[in-house]
Copies of this chain bind each other. A is one copy, B any other.
Amino acid sequence: MQSRTPQGPPGPHPRAGRPRSAAADAAILGATRDALVDLGWSKLTLGDVATRAGVAKTTLYRRWAGKNELVVDAVAVLFDELELPDRGSLTADVVGVVLQFAALLERPETKTALMAVVAEATRDDSLRLRIRTAIVDRQKCLVILGRERAQARGELPYEDSPEAAARNADMIFDVIAGAVVHRALVSAEPVDEEWARGLAGLLVTGLGGPSRG
């Protein structure tokens, strides 16, 4: 299965027949988020989404190949609003990015959906790609931005090579995002400012912590 949204009809005439309703797209994605909040991932039904959106099931299947693709798109737009204001120091920026992630993860539609589609993606490469471009990369940008600022401030050294820089960014991203996700979803503990500061401290100074020489 594969999403069909991005593909326009590539025929000789780019427009033939009645065009697809843009309103329907929006209604479906909104209804999907509502249904996620009400029912959670596993009890969400495409038929129910269609009903909530006031749309026929066919209209839904014409645009998305299945539940996975639909939910990724429905949740992805929530990640558009991510941004990272400059808080003046590396530690403060890490706290900022952590709280941003956490705020999204605490939303009920995100909480129930994100792990589920990641789980599905372990057996579906195209779905994984979709998740990466629609969700993951948006988050990673913030990490890279924060590192650049810290380097400009002199808080972090510049990397020796672009490859090392990329590897390092991936690592930092996996650590921050992974920690937040694990805290929020597996440990099911709140990701509040105190915890975020603790994580920032750990990242900046290491396990030995500020008490060590």
State the interface size on chain A (CB cutoff 8 A): 55
A186 touches B118 (CB 8 A): yes
Contacts of A90 in B (CB 8 A): 207
What secondary structure prevails in chain A residues at the interface with B? helix
Q: Are A157 and B208 in contact (CB under 8 A)?
A: yes
A193 interface hit (Cβ, 8 Å): no
Taking a contact as CB atoms closer than 8 A, the residue among B40, B178, B211 that contacts A175 in the complex is: B178
The interface residues of chain B lying within 8 Å CB-to-CB of A207 are 90, 150, 156, 172, 203-204
Q: Which residues of B contact A198 (CB under 8 A)?
A: 167, 171
In the docked arrangement, what's the CA distance between A115 and B131, Å? 15
State A186–B174 Cα separation when bound (angstroms).
9
Task: Determine the distance from Cα of A204 to Cα of B211 in the docked complex, in whole angstroms.
Answer: 13
A86 touches B (CB below 8 Å): no
Which residues of chain B are within 8 angstroms of A113 by Cβ–Cβ distance? 119
Copies of this chain, count: 4
Nearest-Cβ distance from residue A62 to partner chain B, whole angstroms: 16
Instruction: Find the B residue at minimum CB distance from A105.
Output: B122
Given A157-B208, A202-B171, A202-B175, A112 contacting B122 (CB threshold 8 A): yes
CA distance A136 to B189 in the complex (A): 14
Q: Is the CB of A175 within 8 A of B179?
A: yes
Bound: A57/B177 CA distance, A = 40
A116 within 8 A of B: yes
User: Is A182 an interface residue when CB atoms closer than 8 A count as contact?
Assistant: yes
What are the 10 A-B residue pairs with the smallest beta carbon separation, nearest first? A178-B178, A178-B182, A206-B206, A115-B119, A116-B119, A178-B179, A40-B123, A205-B206, A174-B182, A175-B179
